Amino acid sequence: MCGICCSVCFSVEHFSQDWKEDLLYNLKRRGPNSSKQLLKSNINYQCLFSGHVLHLRGVLTAQPVEDERGNVLLWNGEVFSGIKVEAEENDTQIMFDYLTSCKNESDILSLFSEVQGPWSFIYYQASSHCLWFGRDFFGRRSLLWHFSNLGKNFCLSSVGAQTSGVANQWQEVPASGIFRIDLKSTAISKSVVLKVYPWKYFSRENVTKECVDSLTQIAANLPTFVSVVANEAKLYLKEPVVPLNMMLPQAPFEIHCSNISSVPPTRETLQVFLTDGHMKEVVQQFINVLSMAVKRRVLCLPRDGSLTPSEVSKTCDRKANVAILFSGGIDSMVIATLADRHIPLDEPIDLLNVAFMTKEKPTLNSFNKKSGKKKNHCEIPSEESSKSVAAAADSPDRQFSVPDRITGRAGLKELQAANPSRVWNFVEINVSLEELQKLRTTQICHLVQPLDTVLDDSIGCAVWFASRGVGWLVTQDEVKSYQSNAKVVLTGIGADEQLAGYSRHRVRFQAHGLEGLNKEIEMELGRISSRNLGRDDRVIGDHGKEARFPFLDENVVSFLNSLPVWEKANLTLPRGIGDKLILRLAAVELGLTASALLPKRAMQFGSRIAKMEKNNEKASDKCERLQVISLENLSIEKEIKM
């Protein structure tokens, strides 16, 4: 994970530094291990490169990296497959070596077509005066652009600035392909031209499927002085996943499951599907490919060397390297179970469970009276701890007993039963209304932007507090404050989109059958970069941590895309079985019990953040709380100690 930024100016007298300090602060939060800047000056333009590194693999490589010919790379990514990166190597240097050896445009596109893993990058090619940049196929890493002063300046950055009047001009770079700007030509012509190299898929029948927003769509939110054009050579990037299988069954779909459609959700109901040899084989294949995706994401990070037996026995003192956004639901339970397979046994795993204070008035109960040690365990262990939380501390369970806390504790018991040798750190993260409002204003709002809906506000804030990892460990023996320092945060995003987990999938199926459901799933995956991933990357990265998405591993998506839809979901069955069917069957095969049957519950409702403020809002409404903060608040923010 890195914070990368490139500011380009075509006119020295118009070089804008209005938000330089602000932007630098935000970038440094993403990359706490190394910061470096590099200025490249030319008679026609100036480029200021700024790199901030979160060190996760190989030798710490400061960014930006530059070679003797003046080429410069800023890389925010992880090469999990496609290009060989040894355990002791750093992928930034590997990618730079490959890029500087590229002889033409086609070589650059071939390189990025091979990389599997999340990435965004900015590459200055000195010989051609060109700036290349873009995001991976799913947009798993944030990259924003900002054009100003009628084309005299533009900026690319992992995260935007929050100075009043500027933040709302940042837009996400579409994950439609790779872009190139000829800086010399732009300076001479006084017009900004973005050339697009789109993603395309070529099937065995040589039928071309182009996955790129129309040029008009890409340019829709850009200033009029910026034009978007296709590259003249009609070059493209090869899509890293196979297209969605749109096949429909020959017989009416309902026949497939008429014998169990009226049965209530039980583990036995799921096991009926596993009596079918083909289905059992498909489920096992899914487990294998998802397990490998998790393995790549939990092993690509530095760990302590081999431990002596006496050190292994002190695992409670070991720090977790991996954390999981954990609700106890099916997605996070399967990820936790598979992570347990691959993370060394002597290493704890942090389960981050967030709850927002409910409006219910506190009352004493016997639990609190018996244990003075436990009575205060839901105060917020930070400088922002609110007085209301402290006052309500006599009844922590009641005020933070939200649905995700209840299922999270139940999920913890399942995991402990499955592997009692593992230290599972269930981190109870409790947030008061006062703390939410303060940190939204000073810290979170600019991370969510340029997205601006009520839903973005709820999810962005919930993910920010969860990934911060400041909470409490509650065990049989004690309650203690805890700060998760795990640099890698696993999240289950991508499961609902691919496996019909949302209620809108069921609505579409009921109205338009399997054909409509296929189209809904295709749309969900196509828009996940703009709806979710850039925002979540900015929010999690703000803590100097890296978000990793096992369900969006290229091999996982290709496997699921290859299956007919009825092998992934069966929406003739009730919630808790039919939605995400293949994942529920995988959970049963992995030995999970109650969690395999939990219906989908959105994070904003499970954590109860959606109930804290205005209850009459629609998720799609523009959120008035996501306002650009004033310059006066900026000084307050920088005094906050996280």
Q: How does pLDDT run across 346-376, given as a tens digit for each residue? A: 999 999 999 998 875 444 343 343 344 443 4
Supply the pLDDT for residue 258. Answer: 44
Using CA atoms, how far apart are residues 503 and 508, in angstroms rounded to an integer?
9
- Residue that wins the pLDDT comparison between 628 and 41: 41
Do the Cβ atoms of 58 and 88 come closer than 8 Å? yes
Using CA atoms, how far apart are residues 640 and 442, in angstroms rounded to an integer?
9
Pairing of strands 424-431, 208-211: unpaired
Residue 9: burial class (beta carbons within 10 Å; 0-12, 13-18, 19+): buried
How crowded is residue 425: how many other Cβ atoms within 10 Å of its Cβ? Answer: 22
- Residue that wins the pLDDT comparison between 389 and 126: 126
pLDDT exceeds 80 at position 314: no
pTM of this prediction? 0.89
Q: Using the 8-state DSSP alphabet, how is residue 478 labeled?
A: -
Q: Using the 8-state DSSP alphabet, how is residue 320 labeled?
A: P
In angstroms, how far is CA 252 from the centroid of its own chain? 38
Supply the pLDDT for residue 322. Answer: 97
Supply the pLDDT for residue 215. Answer: 83
Known catalytic residues? 2
pLDDT exceeds 50 at position 640: no
Confidence band for 210, pLDDT divided at 50, 70 and 90: low
Q: How does pLDDT run across 93-103, given as a tens digit for each residue? A: 999 999 999 99
pLDDT exceeds 50 at position 269: yes
The 3 state secondary structure assigned to 158-226 is CCCCCCCCCHHHCEECCCCEEEEEEHHHHHHHCCEEEEEEEEEEECCCCCEEEECCCHHHHHCCCCCCE
pLDDT exceeds 80 at position 16: no
Using CA atoms, how far apart are residues 346 and 348, in angstroms rounded to an integer?
7
- CA separation (Å) from 580 to 571, 598, 608? 9, 11, 23
Supply the pLDDT for residue 305. Answer: 52
Q: How does pLDDT run across 251-260, given as a tens digit for each residue? A: 765 544 444 4
φ/ψ (deg, to 5) at 212: -150, 135
Helix (H) or strand (E) holding 118: none
Average pLDDT over residues 221-238: 90
Supply the pLDDT for residue 211. Answer: 55
Using CA atoms, how far apart are residues 278 and 370, in angstroms rounded to an integer?
54
Average pLDDT over residues 285-309: 82
Collapsing DSSP to helix, strand or coil, 345 comes out as: coil
Nearest to 324 by CA among 458, 427, 455: 427
Confidence band for 212, pLDDT divided at 50, 70 and 90: low
Supply the pLDDT for residue 280. Answer: 96
Nearest to 240 by CA among 602, 559, 586: 559
Confidence band for 635, pLDDT divided at 50, 70 and 90: very low
Q: Among 144-153, 208-217, 241-250, 385-394, where is mean pLDDT lowest?
A: 385-394
Percent of the chain predicted with pLDDT > 90:
62
How crowded is residue 383: how many other Cβ atoms within 10 Å of its Cβ? Answer: 10
Dihedral of CA 301/305/311/313: which sign?
positive
Q: How does pLDDT run across 27-62, given as a tens digit for each residue? A: 999 999 999 999 998 888 999 999 999 999 889 999
Confidence band for 617, pLDDT divided at 50, 70 and 90: confident
Dihedral of CA 231/235/241/246: which sign?
positive
Supply the pLDDT for residue 452. Answer: 86
- Residue that wins the pLDDT comparison between 642 and 30: 30
Do the Cβ atoms of 209 and 121 come closer than 8 Å? no
- Residue that wins the pLDDT comparison between 477 and 379: 477
Q: How does pLDDT run across 404-423, given as a tens digit for each residue? A: 999 999 999 999 999 999 99
Which domains, from first to last, does the chain contain? 2-238 (3.60.20.10), 257-298+320-637 (3.40.50.620)
Supply the pLDDT for residue 605. Answer: 78
pLDDT exceeds 60 at position 261: no
Q: Among 170-179, 426-435, 475-484, where is mean pLDDT lowest?
A: 475-484
pLDDT exceeds 60 at position 483: yes
Average pLDDT over residues 191-207: 80
Do the Cβ atoms of 321 and 77 come closer than 8 Å? no
Q: How does pLDDT run across 564-605, given as a tens digit for each residue? A: 999 999 999 988 899 999 999 999 999 998 998 888 887 887
Structure tokens at 513: 């059958």
Do the Cβ atoms of 27 and 33 come closer than 8 Å? no
**Cβ-proximal residues to 390 (8 Å cutoff; 6+ apart), any chain:** 376, 379
Supply the pLDDT for residue 528. Answer: 93
Confidence band for 628, pLDDT divided at 50, 70 and 90: low
Q: Using the 8-state DSSP alphabet, how is residue 319 labeled?
A: P
Do the Cβ atoms of 483 and 469 come closer than 8 Å? yes
In angstroms, how far is CA 181 from the centroid of its own chain? 28
Confidence band for 108, pLDDT divided at 50, 70 and 90: very high
Average pLDDT, the chain: 85
Do the Cβ atoms of 466 and 352 come closer than 8 Å? yes
Confidence band for 246, pLDDT divided at 50, 70 and 90: very high
Average pLDDT over residues 528-554: 96
pLDDT exceeds 60 at position 134: yes
Q: Before 64, cis peptide (omega within 30)?
A: yes
Nearest to 294 by CA among 257, 267, 332, 330: 332
Confidence band for 18, pLDDT divided at 50, 70 and 90: very low
Q: How does pLDDT run across 490-502, given as a tens digit for each residue? A: 999 999 999 999 9
429: which strand partners? 354
